[in-house]
Structure 1
Amino acid sequence: MERITLSRAAIRLRTGEVRLLEPNDSGLKRHQLVIYETEKGLDCSPIVLLPSAIATGYRTIPTVRYLRSATEADIAQLSNKWQEEVKAHRACGEKIALHSLPMKLVETVYTFDFARLTFFYTAEGRVDFRTLLKDLTATFRRTRIELRQIGVRDEAKLLSGVGPCGRELCCATFLREFVPITIKLAKIQGLPLNPNKISGLCGRLMCCLNYEHQTYQQIKAELPSVGTRIRTPDGEGVVIEQIISKEAVMVRVESKAILVKKDQILPALPAEEEKKV
């Protein structure tokens, strides 16, 4: 197994969130299972290799208390935990159907010590699950039950998957929070406004549309706006379209439209010379 060369070791929670281990142990290896404590109890996860961007900003990432490397007994308990989660998920799904509740069960997670059981679900609005919670409490005695409503983007983050780019979903790997994504971002970048082309597995606009937005905004500001008269190697004309992805504009010179790169635009003539021309 590869030894971690970055300054901090981390784990990824089942919800996709990254947490740094405190205290840090430089002897930990990638994929090594460790036991740690969160605000909700004990848990067990493999060590992950931090992307450089996260490692650089590690001071802002929450921490969990590192306890020890997982023993054979811990690994056996982890396997048992996964089996119990499958059983609990099935039982909760049956109870949701029994009560005809308008909710979709997404994931079921036990803490490592079985002290807490969390059911993640999605729903269109608020759901009155008091009777469901009562049934679950009676079924899973001596375990704290939590029903947590999440959005469709959180669902994709929780379940993970492969995006159109062929890589694991950004939300399940390094994104720490969701920012609003609007169709305006796709328009500025000149992308096809086909929902199938610009939507992620969650059905919402892809988060990666925001990655280059600032660059596109900067290029747009540097290009002459539509309707501006500019000088080109082929003569003076009027800008009829900005093509930000190519850092160029379409210019109508006399009766034809030509593509002019940003660095091909000639400086405007001084006012006196323009009058002479």
Structure 2
Amino acid sequence: MKRILGLKFSHYGQIYFFYCDDPFIGRGDRVLAETGQGLGIATVMTLAERLPDDLPPENVREVLRKVTDEDLVTVEENDTLTYDAHRFCEARIRERQLDMKLVDVEVLFDRSKLVFYFTAPTRIDFRELVKDLVREYHTRIELRQIGVRHETQMLGAVGSCGMVCCCRRFLRKFVPVTIKMAKEQNLFLNPSKISGICGRLLCCLSYEQENYDIFHSSCPRLGKRYQTNRGPMKVLRANMFRNSVALLTDANEELELTLDEWQALEPRRPDAPPRPEGGEVRTEGKPAASRTHDELMVVMADPETIDDAFADCDEADQAGLDALGDAESDNAEEGLRPRKKRKRKR
């Protein structure tokens, strides 16, 4: 029976599952596996009993073998090539005055492809840069644009909490973080306080958001007046940690009741429309749309077709080679960018 291994190809990468026939490969060993891009060396992180439910068995590849001493020599040579390619690409970026930042370079084990990760705030034309890289290394070149969150994940940093950033330590997939989360958690809307090193909203705002959603779904609306068995009351504050609400009676007396005690008063709003049958809770607003980095640019070039690919590229075709700024996809998650004021009609 084939074993199932969870492999990680980089320190900040995700865990991918592979089949393995070698019974002597265990956790912590380095193995050679074939991926969709090419050969790569990975570290065995877990020994799984079964595949994840969302992973079809036919899509699972097999581990080739355990890493040998010759493979380790090749890894050292690739590390040297990575360093040289990083310096060469940065020099070409400065020479051509491109508004882009090179973050990292990845060399596949068999050197069949070099991947250059970069960030760019605006649309740029790096056709000449691709030509320089292909002519220098005579292999397939891939320029992959990443967002600022992935940049921090690759480089690593220390957060405001004094710990290494979550994206570097354990986060492998980014979820949308909105300014609404900060508002519901009663945080001060100061960008310097609720933003991370990457300049985006803190990823940890989403950790407890589910608890806040459950609490606010059963909590009365703040600032509204309700008619109860003990007379009219106004909701002043809500405390999720105590699971309570602060109320103000007509006698100007402040009370603090738990949500169970509040529901026992049979609260109702005189001006509120009747609730639909079934007791469904009406949620305020619409959920934030999940924004991914699918809009970011990925360009691949081959030494045999590089000249033909860019020979007849005019201004109309340039859009297919320009880099899309990651700010466009991240601004929707932020909510911190100042909006242009609209002139009121008099």
Q: TM-score, normalised by structure 2?
A: 0.66
The one-letter amino acid of 1:268's match is: L
2:134 matches 1:137? yes
The one-letter amino acid of 2:91's match is: E
Query: Match for residue 308 of structure 2?
Result: none
Query: Match for residue 150 of structure 1?
Result: 146
The one-letter amino acid of 1:242's match is: A
| Cα displacement (A) at 1:17 | 2.7
| Cα displacement (A) at 1:189 | 1.4
The one-letter amino acid of 1:156's match is: T
The one-letter amino acid of 1:145's match is: I
* C-alpha spacing 1:199/1:269, structure 2 compared with 1 (3 Å): closer
- Which structure is richer in relative contact order (CA contacts within 8 A, separation 6 or more)? 2
1:174-213 superposed Cα distances (whole Å, 9 cap, x missing partner): 5454332111001111223232332223221122322322
Query: Match for residue 33 of structure 2?
Result: 36
Partner secondary structure for residue 118 of structure 1: strand
The equivalences for 1:77-92 within 5 A come to: 77-92=74-89
Query: Match for residue 274 of structure 1?
Result: none
2:181 matches 1:182? no
* C-alpha spacing 1:57/1:256, structure 2 compared with 1 (3 Å): farther
For residue 62 of structure 2, the aligned residue among 61, 65, 76 is 65
* C-alpha spacing 1:89/1:75, structure 2 compared with 1 (3 Å): same
Query: Match for residue 219 of structure 1?
Result: 215
Number of aligned pairs? 260
C-alpha separation in 1, matches of 2:149 and 2:62: 28
1:13-36 superposed Cα distances (whole Å, 9 cap, x missing partner): 336232112247664333211111
The one-letter amino acid of 1:139's match is: E
* C-alpha spacing 1:192/1:119, structure 2 compared with 1 (3 Å): same
C-alpha separation in 1, matches of 2:148 and 2:26: 34
* C-alpha spacing 1:76/1:88, structure 2 compared with 1 (3 Å): same
Query: Match for residue 155 of structure 2?
Result: 159
Identity %: 35
For residue 199 of structure 1, the aligned residue among 195, 201, 223 is 195
C-alpha separation in 2, matches of 1:29 and 1:56: 16
Q: Relative to structure 2, which stretch is displaced further, 14-23 or 157-166?
A: 157-166
5+ residue gaps, structure 1: 1-6, 272-277
Partner secondary structure for residue 190 of structure 1: coil
C-alpha separation in 2, matches of 1:25 and 1:241: 61
5+ residue gaps, structure 2: 269-346
C-alpha separation in 1, matches of 2:39 and 2:18: 13
The answer to whether the Cα contact below 8 Å between 2:4 and 2:51 also exists between their aligned partners in 1 is no
The equivalences for 1:53-132 within 5 A come to: 58-60=52-54, 63-132=60-129
The answer to whether the Cα contact below 8 Å between 2:228 and 2:267 also exists between their aligned partners in 1 is no
Partner secondary structure for residue 246 of structure 1: coil
Partner secondary structure for residue 92 of structure 2: helix
| Cα displacement (A) at 1:136 | 1.0
